[in-house]
Amino acid sequence: MNLQHRLSSGKFVILAEMHTPKGVDISDLITNARGLKGRVDAVIIPDMDNGVMRMSALAGGALISREGIESMIHIYARDRNRLALQGDILAAHVLGIKNLLVVQGEEMRLGDHREANPVDDMDELELIRTVKTLQGGKDSAGFDLAGKPSFGVGCTMSLWTSDRELDLELEKTAGKIEAGAQFIILPPMFEAEQLVAVIEKIRGFRVPVISTVFILKSVGVARYMSLKMDGINIPEELIQRIRKAGDREDECLRIAGETIAAFGQLSQGVRIETMGWEHKLPIILDYAGR
């Protein structure tokens, strides 16, 4: 059963994030993907995440599909105008990519090509509408397409730091769903209570909600995120648990696994943000009991 069917029939899904290389050596990507075959419902390929130039997600998604694993690629409008975006979306369909995740691009000044000129020809909402228009057999200028592409289309919610920000985020998300997004992927969370609270608020949207488990790779990463990233709440006990463990790396994997299992009870799916630990996903899934 493919991802769209699983989502629409209320079945639980696991999505694992994998990055394309900064370069042309795809061996790790392929090896890691093969190790996950049959264990995840889809692999998500971000497109130049955090503004770091890498091989495009389009190529990454196509490679994953070629391995017989369902893929989902990020799309956003920072780097491509409406022609390039639509061209890539059509290409994604013929290359076997079954899902698109419409995201907001990182600000250029935070990436690794800070001098670049951002394009920003459309926003997230317009991009979701454009995908819908393409699926209806027309391009955004109203011209007919020869053959319609089809995708599962998801949107994301950004982190919030106050109830007011959460309300705004919910309003934006409602707009994205109205525009055509079929599922929501939540930002990373580290304790069940946070997730329960937000899921309660988005129940009314009546679309599948996928939570995000971010693999904490060390005490340093956890502390850094806690301090520097607005909206990230990592319980101190979790950080202490890693700090006190005999085998800290294994403890990190265990925590990720346990969080997946816990979030799996609360949301319809889990996205695993790997941060370079793609090769450890099989162990994490073991710990999650998947």
Nearest distance, CB of residue 116 and another protein, angstroms: 6
- Report the distance separating Cα 266 and Cα 52, nearest Å: 33
Q: Which is nearer to another protein, 25 or 115 (CB)?
A: 115
Nearest distance, CB of residue 28 and another protein, angstroms: 30
Q: Which is nearer to another protein, 70 or 79 (CB)?
A: 79
* Beta pairing partners, 44: 17, 72
- Binding residues for another protein, rule: CB under 8 A, are 107-109, 114-118
Q: Which is nearer to another protein, 108 or 192 (CB)?
A: 108
Q: Which is nearer to another protein, 34 or 109 (CB)?
A: 109
- Report the distance separating Cα 86 and Cα 108, nearest Å: 22
Nearest distance, CB of residue 118 and another protein, angstroms: 6
C-beta separation of 207 from 177 below 8 A: yes
Nearest distance, CB of residue 124 and another protein, angstroms: 18
- Report the distance separating Cα 97 and Cα 99, nearest Å: 6
135-143 LR contacts (CB < 8 Å, sep 24+): 139/86, 140/82, 140/86
- Distance set, CA 213 to CA 44, 178, 206, 216 (Å): 13, 26, 22, 9
Q: Which is nearer to another protein, 27 or 117 (CB)?
A: 117
Nearest distance, CB of residue 95 and another protein, angstroms: 29
